[in-house]
Structure 1
């Protein structure tokens, strides 16, 4: 409980120094708070995440971009109780792993693989959309890459499954590899805020999903912060 503002209120997280300062009615010199680590499955997921977090949320975390463990490996570390993954960090899994849920583990707000979702958004965006910038990143540049042509040639979008699948007569190729090759080719462009298809195209039509994810993210942050910086 705290009444420093004239109104008695509960504080869910508080440090020992803050408790003492409140009881003694003294100022406190706050130390710089440690940022919470945040892990995603791969670069595609980090790009998705970067497109949906707000500025305040980004400022509170350290995104561990150089570490790519894959969803099942991260979940295994969570369930085995490895502290870095089970209570000290926010773990972001792709949306197709909805069954994997703990307080610090949340799913991206779309069941489609992030690279497929970004590809589909760009595929459906009209050439005259204000999203594109001529000769920098326009629909013609998007359509003309070898990786794009391979995806169009070898896959179809399955509406029932909600994702791209290989055409019936294609063997020896994985859908995942085709989209990863495309993303790796274009990530230097679509990872930029102005061209991030999640931030620029997806977010505006999915406010409910963003609101739900943001709430889950804040809950996960509070959980991790309570173990890293505060009294449990």
Structure 2
């Protein structure tokens, strides 16, 4: 299937990344399911895609390790003949007031969220074919300034900056570069460490009065990664139900 678009999705073994991988597969793209450590979950995603008639392989990579990331893209070349779409959904979250933040947690989070995003963006810039798309994952907290999210928002602010600059650096390549910035989304990562009162309060913030779902975010990413999103470039799309 020489004309089939090929997507590399990181953080694809769970949560938003998993739904992005399956959504892209439903749209007809072959998918490399990138995962950090949970091989079983990644293989489940591959099985789900192939059972529905799609094409997918799993590939392990630490997104902050340039050798791992090169091997991840090599896996796409070997399995499907190249890369057209890259969605970087791998991320780490640590919540704490800035005054109480453990700096080891800060370093771990920034290694994945900043260095990892940069390594993925660098390899994508080198390898994505003409007509392709690069989609990074940010967070609406960059604009919403929720207390406790200082370090996380700072890391994602860096992602937004590199996204907008990369879009301009790829002038003439016919490759779009955008970011999706989810609001509160019902994933395992979101629910971890939050009590029911906090969850209910966050769910009531959007005018739509609910949490986002992984599918809500995946559909935006799929639009940016597909032919319909070709005229959207160098943008951060805040997919948060209208939180102001």
TM over 0.5: no
**Which of the two has higher C-alpha Rg?**
1
Question: Whose RCO is larger (CA < 8 A, sep 6+)?
Answer: 1
TM-score bin (small chain) = 0.3 to 0.5
TM (norm. structure 1) is: 0.33
Give the number of the structure whose residues are more often strand, by fraction: 2
Q: If the length of structure 2 is used for normalisation, what is the TM-score?
A: 0.32
